[in-house]
Each structure stands twice: as structure tokens, then as C-alpha cells.
Structure 1
Amino acid sequence: YYQNLAETNVSCGIFFVGACYDKGIGVERDEHKAFIYYQKSAEMGYAKGTCNVGCCYDEGIGAFIYYQKSAEMGYANGMSLVAECYRNGIGITRDLHKAKYWYQR
């Protein structure tokens, strides 16, 4: 089902194909393919895909950039991750005021 959506260029389908590769659901687990699908869904403006690209980068400036983008799209998990980055100084200068702002959104 998700593969069919992905083939018709539907962003959520592309994301979920990535999730299947990420978790090994119905396909052999392949983190590289998962990243490619997540990145494509992010490029299409899909907030969960954008956040997952950040998770693929795990820590550092790359992660923060994608967490920030997904947070600005209104994705709650992205907001929480931005707050964590500000709280702990991951990929950005530590700023407890900004952390509080993102926790409260």
C-alpha cells in the first residue's frame, strides 16, 4: 500500500516506505534506503519526514536544522527535539529560554 502511494509521489507514502525500511517491516532493514525516503518526503514538506531526517543525523548541527524545520511546520515531536537541543546545547548554543519556549509550544 505505502509503496503504491510512494510511486504516485504522495509524501506520506514515501515517508512510510522509509519507515518500513528503517524498521524492517515487510522488507529487509536498510537504513540508507530509509534515509533516502525520509529525505524525499522532507523535500516535499512532510513534517514527520523532516523530523526523521534530523533523527538520522542523530546529533549535531544537521539534526538541529531538520528538527527546527519540522517544529516550524507544527510537528510536536520536532518541537520537543528542538527544545532538547537548546536545553543540552546539541548542534546549537545552549539557551534555556529558547528551550522553555519550545517545550511550551
Structure 2
Amino acid sequence: MPEGFTDWGIMYDLGYGVPQDYSKALEYYQKAAELGDARGYSSLGVLYANGYGVAKDDAKALQYFQKATDMGDAEGYNNLGLVYAKGVGVNQDYFKAITYFQKAAELGSARGYHNLGVAYKLGLGVAKDEAKALRYVQKACAMGYQKACQPRQHLNRAIRFSQVLPRGQINS
């Protein structure tokens, strides 16, 4: 089961019940990806996007996120949206970012809803709409994404890549 390899990768990535070890996380994510797990690809992208245990490589991150989206992974779409929102290895394009965030949300990503909320709050690729922003972050909160549960505090900040793209892709 490739999903099990991704779960092991997350454990080593974040140090859940085991000593944190990025090289082991990388190994498990690679194995999961080789076996066809989209979360494995997305998690590999996060390692490369942030330089966790590997040399930061925007091109590899983009490649892994794209592979995850090709497989229909909601978090892959969210991560690809973040790549375009921040212009990481690509030209910054808020319109593309919004498209990917919307697809992520449609596929059930709380982070996708949250990032849509941030985009509407700040007017990134869409017209500013505080009511819509609040609805999106409330939806993300209801789905269990804790960072979205304090929208006044969180929505007043710009999208920060490492903040909304945590290691391990754990939906907390």
C-alpha cells in the first residue's frame, strides 16, 4: 500500500513518534510516489519547495506538484496554487493560483478553501470581497484546518509559502 509509505514519510518528516529524519522521510515519500501515491508526490514537492532535508529546488517541487495534480490530488492543486501565488520557480500569476485553489477546494482541501479566503481578503487575482473571504475560511475551519479558525488574525497576513504549505501535508 503506497499510502502507508507516505504516512511513514510524514512520521519521519515531522518527528511523530520517531526521531525527525528528513532522509528517511524522503525515502518513504519516494517509495510512495514510485508506487503511484499522489500524496507521496505532493509531499516530495513540499520537501523540495522548502529545502527540508534536500537542496531547495523549485523546478523539482513544481514537477512533483504537477504530478500530484495529474493524479487528482487536492493538496497537489493547493500546492500548485501556492507556487503560482508566490512565483516560486514560475512567473507569479494570481489568476492561475485562484484556479488551482478552487480545484483544491472542489476536491475537498480545507487549505484550498483557506487560500481562497486569503485571496479574496487581499484581492489577489480576484476582486476583494471580505464576506466571501470569511465564508471560505469558515469552511476551512469547519473542515478542521485550525489556522483558518482565527480568520481576523490570519486573514490580515499575506500568503506565506511555508506557513500554508506545511511539511507532511497533514490536514490538521
For Structure 1 versus Structure 2, the TM-score category normalised by the shorter chain is: 0.7 to 0.9
Q: Are 2:111 and 1:74 equivalent residues in the alignment?
A: no
| Shift in Å, 1:25 | 3.0
Unaligned 5+ runs, structure 2: 1-27, 86-92, 140-172
Superposed displacement of residue 103, structure 1: 2.2
Equivalents in 2 of 1:69, 1:25: separation in Å?
27
Query: How large is the RMSD of aligned CA atoms in angstroms?
Result: 1.5
CA distance in 2, matches of 1:27, 1:92: 35
Counterpart position of 2:132: 98
Work out the CA distance in 2 between the residues paired with 1:18 and 1:55.
12
Q: 2:38 aligns with which of 11, 24, 28?
A: 11
TM-score (norm 1): 0.88
What is the alpha-carbon distance in structure 2 between the residues aligned to residue 87 and residue 43 of structure 1? 29
Instruction: Pick the aligned partner of 2:82 from 49, 55, 62.
Output: 55
Unmatched segments (≥5 aa) in structure 1: none
TM-score by length of 2: 0.56
> Which structure has the greater CA radius of gyration?
2
The letter of the residue matching 2:131 is H
